[in-house]
Structures are given as structure tokens and as C-alpha cells.
Amino acid sequence: MTDTARDTGLVAAIAEATAATTPRIWGFGVDGTLTALLRAGDALHRPDLTQRVVDLVTPSLTAPPDPTDHLIAVEAMLALAARRPGIDVADVCRRWLAAVRHARPRHPGGPRLHRPDLPPWQSTIWVDCMHTDGPGLAALGHPDEAVAYATAYAAALQLPNGLFQHGYDTAARQGNGVAWGRGQAWALLGLTDTLTRAYDGGLAERLTRLVDALAAHERDGQWSTVVDDLDAPVEASVAAYLAWTVPHAIDAGLVDPAHRAMADRAWTATLRRLTPGGTLAVSEATPVGAAPDYHDRALGAFPWGQAPVLHAALDRIAPAAPTGDGPDEEESR
């Protein structure tokens, strides 16, 4: 078997495992899942993978406004429209833009609250939103707003050591102080995707500090579910996201090229944990909490774990194709 055939077989197995998951429409991490399936459909000449995306999102395309509209996968919708011009995503993108723009900060200049209607999280912001707001605004052609949204969130969530805390209570003006592993991935992905379309020196500096901090806490291509807690178990999704996102940040000139070796180690570690069926066991949806609450989350094959594995595998058999230029919510993904 040739290396190309072996790599293609790996991508196919991961794609099928990803397609078998049931992403919440709309929920955290869904954008990466949908764009990965679209890319896999192109690379493998598998229209069924593209159709899987169509089937998942069609019920929402003309749905009435909903409190979860701020989680609509804008980049995936643009990518889908580029592949299926007959599918109209204008309304769903307008709903997302309205939800994001209508969100209001609790304090002037602070981060905007997406779910003030949802006790007990009505004053909480999540690091998860780093990978939705900035990238979506930039993809829809609003670079200044993208930078402003990303900056407000990062200012509240980034810790002095460069890592990001999971949640921040805007009423108490206090974060939970926990450098949740997958939360670092959401911040990394969000900063990179925002900066590639809407460059800002302050955000770029925040991205550099985050990647340097992650490098300082690497454990042979792996990271703990609480990154700076050596007693916490390994969280496999972190390595998968770094294997996918860090090379893109390097290629965009945003991150020191020396970190490519870290991304390669992360990919090697991900492959070691991948099952023959193409699944990666990662932690379940995780609410904001105290540090010990992150140690014992159940593991399984979830959309937010499969997405980075599939993207990273696709990147390693072919250059990334354009994605289109463009928790229940009490539980982060």
C-alpha cells in the first residue's frame, strides 16, 4: 500500500467516524465539524459527506430566531454555499449577525453576554465563544467588529501567564481561574481565524503569549485537561487542535515557525490515541467550575474532538481548501 493510499484511508476512517457523531445544531465546536466534513467530501470525492452537512443544517436554515443563534456556524455556512450554490444561507447568517450584534455588555467596554436569559449563567462569558464571534464577524466582512469582540473577550479571559481561563462572571468581575485544556484550543482557533482576516497587533501579541504558554506546558505532544496542573489527566482534544491550528498560524506569519515541531509532536500523539475506526476519545461537554471538576469528565467520540483530527489529517494529505470567505448552553463544549 502506498503512503498516499494509507493516508487517504486514514482520512476516510476519521471522516466516517465524524459523520456518525450528532452535533448539536447549534452548539460549540460545530463549525469545525461541518467544515471538516465539507473538506473531506472534496478530498475523498464523497458527496455523501457533503450531504451529511446539508441534512444536519437544513432544518435551521429558515428557523425563527433562537437564543442559540450566536452559535450558528457562519464559516461552515459560507463554505456550504460555495459548494451548493442552490442552498441559501443568507437568512441564517443574518440571524447569527443579529444575535451577536444585539448582545450587550454588562459594563461599558466589557465582553458581550450571549445568554443573559439563562440562569445561572446569565452574567457568564465562555472562552468557547472566542472561536465563534471574531471569526464569524471577520468572515462576513466586519473586521473592526471582529477585532473589538475578540479583544473584549481576551481581555477578560487571558491570564497573566498567557493561558485562558474557562469562564468569567461579568457581575462579580471575576474568572474561574482554570486553564481548561480545550478552552486553550478555542482561544487558539478563535485568535488565529480572526487574525488571518482582520489583523490586529494586540490580538497577535495575545496569540503569541498563548502559544508560548502552551509550549511551556507540553507533555510530549500532549496537554492536561487543566493545562498547568500536572496531576490532571491528559485531554486528547488539545493535541488535536494544536496539530490542526498551529501550522495555520505559522503559515499566516502569526506564530514563531519553531513551534511547528510542537504541532508535529501533537499530531503524533493524536495518532497514538486514535482508534482503528478513526475515533478519538475526548472529554464530554464541560461546564465552568473549580479545577477538580475538570479531572473526571467522561470520555467519548464527540463532534468537538473529531473535527480537529479530521482537519489535521486533511492538511497532511493536501493543502487546506478555502472554507468560504468568508450545551445545553450551560455546558461548554
Give pLDDT tens digits for 123-138: 999 999 999 999 999 9
Distance in Å from the first CA to the final CA of the chain = 38
Separation CA 211–CA 255 (nearest Å): 8
Q: Kindly report the pTM of this predicted structure.
A: 0.94
3-state secondary structure of 113: strand
The residues, any chain, with a CB within 8 Å of residue 98's CB and separated by 6 or more, are 65, 69
Report the number of distinct structural domains present in the chain: 1
**Rg, the chain, Cα only:** 18
Per the domain annotation, does 70 fall within a domain?
yes
CA 231 to chain centre: 25
Give pLDDT tens digits for 180-227: 999 999 999 999 999 999 999 999 999 999 999 999 999 999 999 999
Domain that residue 215 falls in? 8-317
Per the domain annotation, does 160 fall within a domain?
yes
Separation CA 288–CA 170 (nearest Å): 14
Per the domain annotation, does 82 fall within a domain?
yes
User: Which 8-state DSSP code applies to residue 322?
Assistant: P
Q: Read out DSSP for 182-233? A: HHHHHHHHHHHHHHTTS--HHHHHHHHHHHHHHHHT-SSS--BSBTT-TTSP
pLDDT of 267 > 90? The answer is yes
Give pLDDT tens digits for 277-312: 999 999 999 999 999 999 999 999 999 999 999 999
The residues, any chain, with a CB within 8 Å of residue 302's CB and separated by 6 or more, are 21, 29, 282, 284, 285, 333
Per the domain annotation, does 323 fall within a domain?
no
CATH code of the domain covering residue 214: 1.50.10.10
